[in-house]
């Protein structure tokens, strides 16, 4: 182990609070992660000392704020091994980043009859933008199915690629099943077909090392708040030649170089895609999150999450009323577990666990098509981060057993009719 979890937890003030009189066990990290004191302090310091609008002022505060944001862009590029900081576009979130590509690349370069490949694992944020584009441009959407264990069916995937395929957009890590698709293999299939690639790395970048040059992807999107960073900040990486050829996404503010009454000239990268006042404070402090993760190291993060995943799966497998989704093995999957208690709505599970101080997610997790593939309306979801402990897993197990006992008359065991 590369760090002492008990020491790490002191850096996260919220982890010491109580919920319903019980110590908080925060297992909703796939939705958003908690923030270290260093980031909280940096955000407060920015507003106390450096608050000003960027790129527009000749005064000291504007210069300081601009410097902080552009340094953040450089550090973000380095964090994912992007070739240039100009290939990093700050957005509000990963959803906006994907929409930006659909709007600015898709509407310009796709035509009727072209095809986009997606997967059955996708978050709504990586479905709906393409559905809107499909209706507008008469573009056909095709889907890689999942196997019973939640893996993508690559044999079927290979059949989908053709000379009509112009883009594949897929998640690097499922927010429901923890599935980790073989990113490089899929990108290789896309390249053979001459198709572009967009990776939704929202659930990958917080947990695993990200290298866009090694993957050789065309676009990559992720959100800061899922990796210790602030809310309201997303990142789009785009291959420079593609970004150069795309039209602006939004109009106004800093995305222009020159404006006439009836025309405009767009600004250079990445300003061309950053209209209006951005999330200045959030961008300025994001490096605190990147620094924290880099100091811990992704190998240590993965080791901790694997230990949590393994023990939690053991607990769930020993409860006959539990229905597990995705791979039953901890290896080769992310720290996300979706489950149900047979005969009980997932919201009842979540509410019961909350009474014991345990925070999990419930519902369809913005993946309704995937839920239909699984044959359920929703699930309870436990998702881990490196600051979680094995002791918390045991508390979760105890809370789950209390839930089972309380709802026993409603529950069904495995194999029951």
Tokens in use for 369?
A: 């098509």
Q: CA-CA distance, 14 to 39, in Å (whole number)?
A: 13
Q: CA-CA distance, 65 to 73, in Å (whole number)?
A: 13
Tokens in use for 27?
A: 């297992």
Helix/strand/coil (H/E/C) assignment for every residue in 13-73: HHHHCEECCEECEECECCCCCCCCHHHHHHHHHHHHHHCCCCCCCCCHHHHHHHHHHHHHH
Q: Is 366 marked active-site?
A: yes
**E strand or H helix that includes residue 305:** helix 298-317
The SS3 assignment for 402 reads helix
Contacts of 306 (CB under 8 A, 6+ apart): 330, 331, 335
Q: CA-CA distance, 385 to 388, in Å (whole number)?
A: 6
Q: Which of 217, 366, 367, 373 is catalytic?
A: 366
Q: CA-CA distance, 381 to 232, in Å (whole number)?
A: 23
Q: CA-CA distance, 350 to 339, in Å (whole number)?
A: 11
Give every strand in the sheet of 115-119, ordered side by side: 88-91, 234-238, 219-223, 196-200, 165-171, 115-119, 140-144
Give φ, ψ of 81 to 5 degrees. 55, 45
- What DSSP state is assigned to residue 86? G
Residues 412/321, Cβ–Cβ less than 8 Å: yes
The SS3 assignment for 3 reads coil
Active-site positions?
Answer: 366
């Amino acid at each position: 182990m590369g760090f002492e979890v008990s020491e790490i937890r002191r850096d996260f003030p919220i982890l010491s609070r109580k919920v319903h009189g019980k110590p908080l066990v925060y297992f909703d990290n796939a939705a958003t992660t908690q923030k270290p004191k260093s980031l909280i302090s940096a955000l407060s310091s920015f507003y106390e000392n450096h608050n000003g609008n960027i790129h527009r002022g000749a005064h000291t505060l504007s210069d300081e704020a601009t410097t902080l944001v552009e340094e953040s862009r450089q550090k973000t590029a380095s964090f994912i091994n992007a070739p240039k900081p100009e290939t990093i576009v700050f957005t509000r979130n990963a959803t906006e980043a994907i929409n930006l590509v659909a709007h600015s690349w898709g509407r310009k370069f796709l035509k009727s009859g072209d095809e986009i490949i997606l997967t059955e694992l996708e978050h709504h944020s990586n479905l709906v933008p393409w559905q809107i584009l499909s209706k507008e441009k008469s573009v056909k959407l095709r889907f890689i199915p999942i196997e019973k264990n939640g893996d993508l069916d690559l044999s079927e995937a290979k059949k989908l690629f053709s000379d009509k395929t112009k883009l594949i957009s897929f998640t690097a890590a499922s927010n429901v099943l923890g599935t980790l698709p073989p990113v490089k293999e899929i990108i290789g299939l896309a390249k053979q077909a001459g198709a572009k690639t967009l990776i939704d790395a929202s659930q990958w970048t917080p947990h695993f090392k990200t290298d866009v040059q090694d993957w050789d992807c065309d676009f990559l999107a992720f959100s800061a708040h899922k990796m210790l960073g602030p809310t309201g900040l997303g990142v789009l990486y785009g291959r420079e030649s593609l970004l150069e050829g795309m039209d602006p996404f939004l109009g106004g503010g800093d995305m222009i170089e020159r404006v006439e009454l009836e025309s405009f000239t767009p600004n250079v990268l990445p300003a061309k895609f950053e209209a209006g006042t951005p999330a200045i404070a959030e961008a300025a402090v994001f490096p605190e999150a990147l620094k924290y993760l880099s100091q811990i190291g992704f190998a240590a993060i993965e080791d901790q999450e694997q230990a949590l995943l393994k023990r939690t799966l053991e607990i769930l497998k020993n409860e006959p009323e539990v229905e597990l989704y995705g791979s039953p093995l901890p290896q080769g999957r992310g720290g996300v577990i979706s489950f149900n208690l047979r005969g009980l709505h997932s919201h009842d599970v979540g509410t019961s666990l909350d009474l014991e101080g345990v925070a999990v997610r419930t519902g369809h997790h913005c993946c309704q098509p995937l839920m239909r593939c699984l044959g359920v309306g929703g699930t309870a979801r436990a998702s881990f981060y490196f600051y979680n402990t094995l002791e918390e897993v045991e508390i979760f197990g105890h809370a789950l057993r209390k839930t089972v006992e309380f709802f026993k008359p409603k529950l069904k065991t495995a194999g029951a009719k």
